[in-house]
Amino acid sequence: MSRSALLILGLVLLAGAAIFAPIVMAFEPEQMPGDFVLTWGKQHYLVPVIWSLCASGAVGLLYLFYRR
């Protein structure tokens, strides 16, 4: 694969993780390294970065396999 294709795949993975973050936050998974706490007013929100990247990668792989 060329560098531009890998860059596009990486950007799609990150965009998917940003989209999946609120959905994964609703399940309240355990905190993992790489996660961070977002403070908005007096509320604290745990942003599950690793879980969101895993969900985005899994959906991307499912799409890849079902597309063929």
| Extents of the domains making up the chain | 3-67
Contacts of residue 38, Cβ cutoff 8 Å, sequence gap at least 6: 44, 45, 46, 47
Predicted model pTM: 0.79
Write out pLDDT tens, residues 1-39. 688 878 888 888 999 999 999 999 999 888 888 898 989
Write out pLDDT tens, residues 35-55. 989 899 999 888 999 999 999
d(CA 37, CA 48): 9
d(CA 44, CA 61): 32
Looking only at the bridges linking them, the beta strands covering 43-47 and 36-40 are: antiparallel
